[in-house]
């Protein structure tokens, strides 16, 4: 049985893998794009422009999804940024840009779902760094920790509407967003050593978990953050 999903941030490494996974299962997808259409993504998905950090734009995208598909089984918000610097080297513009991309976009999804949806799921992205304490991650964890708190609160606020809110918290994953780290042999080797399984994540590791959480059959799971880090945060 096919489901209908809205994906914001579908052109990244995790997003494009998720689109491929969901399309292969025959699901209906509305992909929100920013500035340029997602030409790299093939298939039968629908497309619509969205500014992920604008409340009205995200609300409009969800309305379009409902108009196209009727019931929406889930909204997945994937925008993110990686700026790894100590706080004293971070500009105010960099700080607010990170908060907008990571936290405000997630809040916009929660807001739209709370107003327009019921019996559905919202999936947001955090980071394993929230649970660990890694140097130069202060700005990222400041925004992502808010997401983990938000899914806990929203899961209670909107429980009567049958809305579920969960988050995925991956460690370093092999995507274009992490190119500066992954393409540096020294940084990559250091990162691999930090993971007990001996490797960093791949997009498929993340999308497997996303599909599990947004599956309507798993409707008893809400308010949770699933950490995907190859054991890094729980194994010393």
Q: Of all residues in the chain, what percent carry a pLDDT higher than 70?
A: 96
Q: What pLDDT is recorded for position 41?
A: 58
pLDDT digits (tens, 9 = 90+) for 204-227: 999 999 999 999 999 999 999 999
How far is residue 110 CA from its own chain's centroid?
12
Asked if 134 and 144 count as a contact pair (C-beta separation under 8 A), the reply is no
Q: What pLDDT is recorded for position 38?
A: 58
**Res 1 pLDDT > 90:** no
Strand ranges (DSSP E) for the chain? 4-8, 28-33, 46-49, 74-77, 120-125, 163-170, 224-228
Structure tokens at 214: 């947004």
**Res 141 pLDDT > 80:** yes
- The rounded mean pLDDT for the chain is 93
Asked if 79 and 9 count as a contact pair (C-beta separation under 8 A), the reply is yes
Tell me the pTM: 0.94
Task: Identify the band that residue 82 occupies on the pLDDT scale cut at 50, 70 and 90.
Answer: confident
Task: Identify the band that residue 34 occupies on the pLDDT scale cut at 50, 70 and 90.
Answer: confident
Task: Identify the band that residue 35 occupies on the pLDDT scale cut at 50, 70 and 90.
Answer: low
- Per the DSSP assignment, residues forming a β-bridge with 122 are 75, 165
Q: Which residues contact 121 (CB under 8 A, 6 or more apart)?
A: 73, 74, 75, 163, 164, 165, 166, 213, 214, 216, 219
pLDDT digits (tens, 9 = 90+) for 148-178: 999 999 999 999 999 999 999 999 999 988 8
Task: Identify the band that residue 181 occupies on the pLDDT scale cut at 50, 70 and 90.
Answer: confident
**Res 40 pLDDT > 60:** no
Q: What pLDDT is recorded for position 235?
A: 74
Nearest Cα neighbor of 222 from 149, 144, 156, 160 is: 156
Q: What pLDDT is recorded for position 213?
A: 98
Q: What pLDDT is recorded for position 37?
A: 54
**Res 16 pLDDT > 90:** yes
Asked if 130 and 169 count as a contact pair (C-beta separation under 8 A), the reply is yes
Asked if 149 and 165 count as a contact pair (C-beta separation under 8 A), the reply is no
**Res 111 pLDDT > 70:** yes
Q: What pLDDT is recorded for position 33?
A: 87
Question: Could you give the strand order of the β-sheet that contains 74-77, starting from the edge strand earlier in sequence?
Answer: 46-49, 28-33, 4-8, 74-77, 120-125, 163-170, 224-228
| CATH number, domain 4-228, options 3.40.190.10, 3.40.50.460, 3.40.50.300, 3.40.50.720 | 3.40.50.720
Structure tokens at 141: 């964890």
Strands 224-228 and 163-170: parallel
Asked if 150 and 126 count as a contact pair (C-beta separation under 8 A), the reply is no
Domain ranges of the chain: 4-228
Q: Of all residues in the chain, what percent carry a pLDDT higher than 90?
A: 83
């Amino acid at each position: 049985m096919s489901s209908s999903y809205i994906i914001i941030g579908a052109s990244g490494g995790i997003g494009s893998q998720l689109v491929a996974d969901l399309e292969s299962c025959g699901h209906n997808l509305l992909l929100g794009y920013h500035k340029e259409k997602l030409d790299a993504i093939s298939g039968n998905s629908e497309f619509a422009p969205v500014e992920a950090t604008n409340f009205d734009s995200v609300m409009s995208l969800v309305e379009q999804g409902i108009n196209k598909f009727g019931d929406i089984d889930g909204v997945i918000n994937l925008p993110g940024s990686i700026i790894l610097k100590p706080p004293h080297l971070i500009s105010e513009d960099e700080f607010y840009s990170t908060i907008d991309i990571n936290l405000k976009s997630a809040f916009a999804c929660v807001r739209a779902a709370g107003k327009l949806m019921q019996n559905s799921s919202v999936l947001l992205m955090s980071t394993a760094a929230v649970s660990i304490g890694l140097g130069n991650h202060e700005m990222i964890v400041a925004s992502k920790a808010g997401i983990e708190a938000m899914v806990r609160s929203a899961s209670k606020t909107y429980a009567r509407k049958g809305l579920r809110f969960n988050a995925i918290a991956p460690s370093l994953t092999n995507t274009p967003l992490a190119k500066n780290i992954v393409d540096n042999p020294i940084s990559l080797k250091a990162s691999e050593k930090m993971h007990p399984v001996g490797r960093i994540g791949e997009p498929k590791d993340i999308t497997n978990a996303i599909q599990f959480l947004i599956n309507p059959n798993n409707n008893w799971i809400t308010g949770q953050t699933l950490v995907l880090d190859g054991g890094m945060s729980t194994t010393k």
